[in-house]
């Protein structure tokens, strides 16, 4: 682990995003709320926030940090779902990994909840994919 003991506590924010490509029928079911496992976006939002709060349990060398705010947003698009996570903290290290963890957990939860509709006749997922996971913003500010 990197020693952050001498670093100042400052306001930090990070945003990350990612995308899951889904079949048109699956998108329709998400929009109509017609999935056997329940409300996909609500469950995926909860999974994302849990991942943000538990990043140190998922990624071994990250520091536990005080999360001051966490938000997961979704945009259901024509060919998939875009996920955006925003994490805020006041601490000694950034929150990029927390934001990325939130995005990934949300995307994986969407996949899990819709997988029955994404499989082909052989039980494979030829069209489903998670893409474009990235940090979209990083803020470090001594004055907030």
Query: Domains plus CATH for the chain?
Result: 14-141 (3.30.70.640)
Ramachandran class of 23: left when φ > 0, alpha when ψ lies in -120 to 50, beta otherwise: beta
Active site residue 112: yes
Residue found by looking up tokens 């060919």 in the block: 79
For 111, residues 6+ apart whose C-beta sits below 8 A from its C-beta are 20, 118, 128, 130
State how far the Cα of 120 lies from the Cα of 97, in Å rounded to an integer: 34
From the candidates 112, 120, 121, 142, give the one annotated as an active-site residue. Answer: 112
CB atoms within 10 A of CB 109: 23
pLDDT value for 143: 65
- For the entire predicted model, the pTM comes to 0.93
Strand arrangement of the beta sheet that strand 67-76 belongs to: 67-76, 80-91, 10-21, 129-141
pLDDT value for 128: 98
CB atoms within 10 A of CB 135: 17
pLDDT value for 144: 58
Per-residue pLDDT of the chain (144 residues; tens, 9 = 90+): 676 667 777 899 999 999 999 999 999 999 999 999 999 999 999 999 999 999 999 999 988 889 999 999 999 999 999 999 999 999 777 799 999 999 999 999 999 999 999 999 999 999 999 999 999 999 988 765
pLDDT value for 96: 95
């Amino acid at each position: 682990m990197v020693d952050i003991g001498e670093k100042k506590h400052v306001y930090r924010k990070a945003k990350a995003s990612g995308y899951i490509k889904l079949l048109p029928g699956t998108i329709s079911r998400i929009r109509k709320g017609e999935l056997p496992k329940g409300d996909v976006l609500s469950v995926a939002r909860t999974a994302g926030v849990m991942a943000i709060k538990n990043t140190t349990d998922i990624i071994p060398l990250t520091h536990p940090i005080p999360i001051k705010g966490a938000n997961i947003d979704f945009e259901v698009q024509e060919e998939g779902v875009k996920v955006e996570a925003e994490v805020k903290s006041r601490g000694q290290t950034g929150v990029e990994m927390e934001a990325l963890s939130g995005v990934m957990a949300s995307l994986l939860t969407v996949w899990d909840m819709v997988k029955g509709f994404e499989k082909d006749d052989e039980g494979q997922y030829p069209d489903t994919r998670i893409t474009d996971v990235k940090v979209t913003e990083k803020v470090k500010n001594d004055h907030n």
